[in-house]
Structures are given as C-alpha cells and as structure tokens.
C-alpha cells in the first residue's frame, strides 16, 4: 500500500476550477485501479492555511525527533515526509505558484524533518518518492521568451529536489484561456458533448501520468 498526498491549491470554489477537474479525474482513475492505496486530500484553501505567523520561525528550527507531529505547523512537514507519492494541482498565477502553495512549502521544508544540514550542505530526507505536478496555464510558456519567465513548475521541481524528491514529472495544460478544445474533454470526462478523439487524447495524458506514478525502475531504466 502506498500513501498518496493530493495537494490542491486554487482559490476557485469546488466545481469551478478547470485545474481540479483535470487532477480529480486522475485521482478517481487512480483510486479505481489502486483501491488499497491511502489517498489524503489536502485542499490548502479548505485547510485555511495561513502564512507562517510572526515569531514562529524558531519553532521550525528546534525539531526534536517526532515530538512535533501534533504541532499546528510541524504536522504538515511530518505528513509530507510520510507520504510515498505526491500529486500537486495548481494554476500558474503571475508567473509563479499561488501564494498559499508557497506558504505550504514553507511549512513542509523543515530542517530535521524533510531535509538536514551536513558538512557538505543541506541534504534531502524524502527519498524513494514520486511526484507529479499538474499545472494549468492561461498562456503558452513552452518556448521563449515566455519559457524563461515561468517560475511555478521550476520552483516546485527544485524545492522537491531540495527535499530529496528527484522523481518529479509535470503534466502541463497550456492555453486554458484560449483553447476550449483542450478544456472541454476534461470538463466532460464522461463523454458528454465531446469529440471522441479529443477525449481520447485527454484520457491518454491522464493515463501517462498514472503510469509514471506506478512505473518500476530496472537497471536505471523506467519500465
């Protein structure tokens, strides 16, 4: 059994977020195939996650064993470390991730829990884990000059690597403001009023993400 942490970051109400319609479809498919896995949904807005309170930074620097598992801040870092797989779902906002997701990262990137300091510098403590980032973008950041401006997926990829998670892939949906042909099959996953070909392409992408989460590595090759 694997523990999957599904991290959601979008201010739109449930049912209105196209980002969540995509990621929820993946989660539902994953649950059908792996009913034995434990999936924890962490909607950061529903969680009412706040920025790190003033004067609380020192508490993140004095971690002793597992004593902080019930701490209102440190509990997120322990939950993060105990997961085996991660699915992050967010739109790009102003070239970066939503502020609430950055606040969450500040809660989970804690020395002594998700990374540690050594004589050679910081080293991640979250090993043998997998992550998929599902990100939606209103525009196209796949080529220059926009590519260099994208700081959302780049940041998440690097901070996850910092915590030891190098098995990280990204499922990107571009042009959400301008390409309803991409959006529609996800909104109507059951097939209502959609093109079979486009729907098949959407399902194929979700299947690729699913396969990535469950692939095995043999002789340094993914299979």
pLDDT tens for 46-67 read 999 988 888 777 777 666 666 6
pLDDT category at 169 given cuts 50, 70, 90 is: confident
H/E segment holding residue 134: strand 130-136
Greatest CA separation found in the chain?
Answer: 60
- Residue 12 tokens, joined: 């739109």
Question: Quick one: pLDDT at residue 181?
Answer: 34
- pLDDT in the model for residue 123: 93
Taking the model in full, what pTM does it have? 0.76
Centroid of chain to Cα 55: 28
Which secondary-structure segment (H or E) carries 99? helix 99-108
In the structure encoding, which two tokens stand for residue 143, read together? 């080529």
Closest C-alpha among 174, 179, 182 to residue 198: 182
**Domains of the chain, first to last:** 3-222 (3.40.50.360)
Q: CA 12, CA 19: separation in Å to the nearest integer? A: 10
Instruction: Tell me what pLDDT residue 197 has.
Output: 34
Predicted local confidence at residue 203, as pLDDT: 45
Report in angstroms the alpha-carbon separations of 117 from 110, 123, 125, 147: 11, 6, 10, 33
> Higher confidence at residue 168 or residue 196?
168
pLDDT greater than 90 at residue 40: yes
Taking only the tens place, the pLDDT of each residue in 122-166 is 999 999 999 999 888 665 656 667 656 666 788 999 999 999 999
**Among 73, 74, 83, 11, which residue's Cα sits nearest to residue 41?**
83
Q: List pLDDT tens digits, range 182-211.
A: 433 333 333 323 332 333 344 445 545 544
CB 152 within 8 A of CB 95: yes
- SS3 for 57? helix
Compute the Cα dihedral for 112, 78, 75, 171 and give only its sign: positive
**CA 108, chain centre distance (Å):** 13
| Cα torsion angle, 157, 161, 163, 164, sign | positive
How many other CB atoms are found less than 10 A from the CB of residue 111?
Answer: 15
Note the pLDDT of residue 65: 60
Q: What interhelical angle do 196-214 and 18-33 show, nearest 10? A: 60
Average of per-residue pLDDT values in the chain: 76
Which pLDDT does position 63 carry in this prediction? 66
Cβ–Cβ under 8 Å, residues 202 and 186 = yes
- Taking CA atoms, 60 is separated from 54, 57, 72, 111, 176, in Å, by 12, 5, 11, 7, 38
């Amino acid at each position: 059994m694997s523990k999957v942490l599904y991290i959601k970051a979008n201010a739109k109400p449930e049912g209105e977020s196209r980002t969540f319609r995509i990621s929820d479809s993946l989660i539902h498919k994953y649950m059908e195939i792996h009913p034995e896995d434990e999936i924890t949904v962490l909607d950061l807005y529903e969680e009412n996650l706040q920025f790190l309170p003033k004067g609380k930074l020192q508490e993140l620097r004095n971690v002793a064993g597992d004593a902080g598992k019930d701490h209102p801040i440190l509990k997120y870092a322990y939950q993060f470390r105990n997961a085996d797989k991660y699915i992050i779902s967010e739109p790009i906002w102003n070239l970066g991730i939503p502020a609430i997701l950055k606040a969450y990262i500040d809660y989970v990137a804690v020395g002594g829990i998700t990374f540690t300091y050594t004589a050679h510098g910081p080293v991640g403590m979250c090993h043998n884990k997998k992550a998929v980032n599902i990100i939606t973008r209103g525009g196209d950041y796949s080529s220059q000059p926009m590519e260099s401006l994208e700081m959302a997926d780049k940041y998440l990829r690097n901070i996850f690597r910092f915590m030891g998670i190098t098995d990280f892939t990204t499922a990107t949906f571009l042009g959400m403001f301008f390409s309803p042909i991409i959006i529609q099959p996800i909104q109507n996953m059951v097939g209502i009023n959609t093109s079979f070909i486009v729907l098949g392409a959407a399902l194929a992408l979700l299947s690729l993400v699913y396969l990535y989460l469950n692939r095995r590595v043999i002789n340094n090759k993914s299979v």
